Amino acid sequence: MPPLVDPRRQGVPSLSRGSTTTNRAVSLLRWAGSKRQLVPTLAQYWDSSFARYVEPFAGSARLFFHLAPRRALLGDINTELMSTYASLRKSALAVHRALMSLKGGRQAYRTIRQIDPRSLKDAARAARFIYLNHFCFNGLYRTNRFGQFNVPYGGEKAGPLPNLSVLVHSARLLKRARLESCDFEHVLRQVMPGDFVYLDPPFSVRSRRVFHQYDATTFGEGDLKRLRTWMRHLDDLGVTFLVSFAESAEADQLRRGFHTRSAQVKRSIAGFAAKRVRVTELLISNRRPGSSKQ
């Protein structure tokens, strides 16, 4: 793997390692549609009496890392994402070493992007994913029809790469979680009374320009219907759930019969920070925040 060369020995700029003073200063992953701004509000639905935290659309798992639950079940259909979490959980130090040996810059990014991740060992594969996620445009994850990651370079304005402290802290929390790469229904079939389920599906909103940065084909109308069916089923089981979704006609289908509150967040149109606008996301649950569990 040519790019895995220590930049300090090659006379090229070294990638910033970030601060070592805090685990929360740098997030593990960037993610389009991240719930970073909503985490304090989302956390109001959780309390320590829940037996387990369950998240079928894990993505960057912002809420999971914030809550640090004792037990968790994390799933996502993105195989590269879940294998990265598994490798990090196995050895944060090995992933850090591989990550810190990657070159910086546009050309190195393109070279690393072209590498078949299946040709790499676990730690190098995870480092590649974290690197590409960090330096790609707007934290997007998109592949071509051959399954190859094809998001363009986004520069280094995202700040420092996650440092060893962040990786170790993340790995420690991931050791508490069962990890699965699968469709969300497979995860939900494992839910039991006493669990808390957070559902943050990809937006499938056709009518709002601000959401064009998401690929609606990855989660379409049929998936929304499946999700709605599962929301009713979880409610029948007495399992507390929370759904976050963009205010839209699609969200109106999900919210019927359940408690709903709105939250304002800033989103960038087409991913450009200069075009940030306030949009509304709906939080849908069968439990009001702060109330006793069902």
The ranges of the chain with pLDDT < 70 are 1-26, 156, 204-218, 267-276, 292-294
**pLDDT of 213:** 44
CATH code for the structural domain at 7-285: 3.40.50.150
Residues 6 or more apart in contact with residue 146 via CB below 8 angstroms: none
Q: Where are the domains of the chain?
A: 7-285
**pLDDT of 7:** 35
**pLDDT of 155:** 81
**pLDDT of 86:** 98
How many CB atoms sit inside 10 A of residue 230's CB?
21
Instruction: List, for residues 81-128, the tens digit of each pLDDT value.
Output: 999 999 999 999 999 999 999 999 999 999 999 999 999 999 999 999
CA angle 44, 50, 54 (to 5 degrees): 85
Distance CA 120, CA 125 (A): 5
**pLDDT of 23:** 41
At which residue do the structure tokens 């601060």 appear? 19
**pLDDT of 293:** 58
